[in-house]
Amino acid sequence: MTEGIVTGGWEYVWTAYSLTAAAFLIYGVSLITRLRKERASK
Amino acid sequence: MEMPRVSTSRTPYVFLAIGAACLLAGSYIGLFVAPAEQYMGNVQRIMYVHVPTAWNWMIAVLFAFGCAIAFLFKSDVKWDARLEAGLEVGALLAFLLCCQGAIWAKPTWGVWWDWDPRLTTTAVLLFSLLGILALRRFVEDPIKRAIWSSVATIIASIDLPIVYMSVKWWNSLHQQQSTPQTVSSQFHLPLRLNAFGVLFLMIGFLMLRSRIAGYRLQQELAAPPVLTGEEAGELA
């Protein structure tokens, strides 16, 4: 950071985007898996 | 109590596909096309995922609140299945929101977390949602579970307007709400695309999660099997 201006920071940006993508992907896959299990046990 | 009907349409998958496409396009523009912000530089690009997550998290909590009210008025368990979906998706978005915020806070505020009103009230609501989900695990009777979690959701939702207004009511470290008037027009497209992307994903998640809860309720509410005289004699 120089004179109140944030420089660099791409590592934070990539971390935030990767975390968001991973959370949505893992949750979506878990939902589909859980739904199939519930349907099968019906 | 009426048995919940569970749809088998492919509509949630359509919402998930549209949501993923919007998010991919919005994130590409946000990362590679939109200019860096004057003071925060590239770190501001986190806004394109953080703000849409925040908006949609509020919608998810409002959805859960609406389902809780609807269950208490109509006593229809389909609203309990939807409530469970709203609570879980709301908790996911709140967790993601806190993580994204912490990642943005470190390079701009110098700390990962601060007990500022906006962050504190958001954390309170996240733990309230997790608490209600935990409560649901411990209550076996589906009707008692639906009533108790509906009441708890209504109480927890009181925090939502406090979260929204916290940056106006108190001298918060967190910036005030972003609106099209306070954000450069060059940032509008990725922000809107990602907002719709998270919205469509959230709708798809809510529909799928409601179906899971619906199937479980069907099993719980199913009448016990009618035994023949011989079977009843064996059991006795």
DSSP state string for B7-59: ---SHHHHHHHHHHHHHHHHHHIIIIISPPBTTTBGGGGGHHHHHHHHHHHHH
Instruction: Specify the pLDDT at position B225.
Output: 62
Mean per-residue pLDDT, B49-68: 96
Residue B61: CB partners within 8 Å, gap ≥ 6?
Answer: B86, B90, B125, B129, B157, B160
Q: What angle do CA A34, B92, B54 make, to 5 degrees?
A: 145
Q: What pTM does this model have?
A: 0.91
B64-98 pLDDT, tens digit per residue, is 999 999 999 999 999 999 999 999 999 999 999 99
Does residue B10 lie within any of the structural domains? Answer: no
Question: Do the domain assignments include residue B236?
Answer: no
Q: What is the pLDDT of residues B95-147, one digit of tens each?
A: 999 999 999 999 988 899 999 899 999 999 999 999 999 999 999 899 999 99
Q: SS3 of A2, please?
A: strand
Residue of B nearest to A24 (CA): B201
What is the predicted pLDDT for the residue at A32?
96
B9-13, B108-112, B142-146, B222-226: least confident range? B222-226
Q: Read off the pLDDT of each residue in B220-235 and give the average, rounded to a whole number.
A: 69
Q: Identify all chain B residues contacting A23, using CB atoms and an 8 Å cutoff.
A: 92, 95-96
Question: What does the domain layout of chain A look like in residue ranges?
Answer: 10-42
* Tens digit of each residue's pLDDT (9 = 90 or more) over B162-210: 999 988 888 778 888 777 777 788 888 999 999 999 999 999 999 999 9
Query: Does B234 fall in a domain?
Result: no
- b/e sequence B154-187, b meaning 16+ C-beta within 10 Å: eebbebbebbeebbeeeebbbeeeeeeeeeeeeb
In a domain, B29, yes or no: yes
Q: Which residue of A has its CA nearest to B26?
A: A17
Q: B104 vs chain A: nearest CA distance in angstroms?
A: 7
Residue B183: per-residue pLDDT: 78
B85 and B210 Cβ atoms separated by less than 8 Å: yes
State the CB neighbour count (10 A cutoff) for residue B153: 25
Examine residue B210 and state whether it is found in any structural domain, yes or no: yes
Render pLDDT for A1-42 as a digit per residue (tens, 0 to 9): 556 777 778 999 999 999 999 999 999 999 999 999 998 887
Q: Is residue B20 part of a domain?
A: yes
pLDDT at position B226? 61
| pLDDT at res. B132 | 97
What's the pLDDT score for residue A22? 97
Question: Is B46 inside any structural domain?
Answer: yes
Q: What is the CATH number of the domain that holds B210?
A: 1.20.120
Which of 80-119 (B) contact A at CB < 8 A?
92, 95-96, 99-100, 103-104, 106-108
B42 shares contact with chain A (CB less than 8 Å): yes
- Whole-number mean pLDDT of chain B? 91
Residue B118 lies in a domain: yes
Provide the domain count of chain B: 1
Range of the domain at B69: 16-217
The alpha carbon of residue A29 is apart from the nearest alpha carbon of chain B, in Å, by: 10
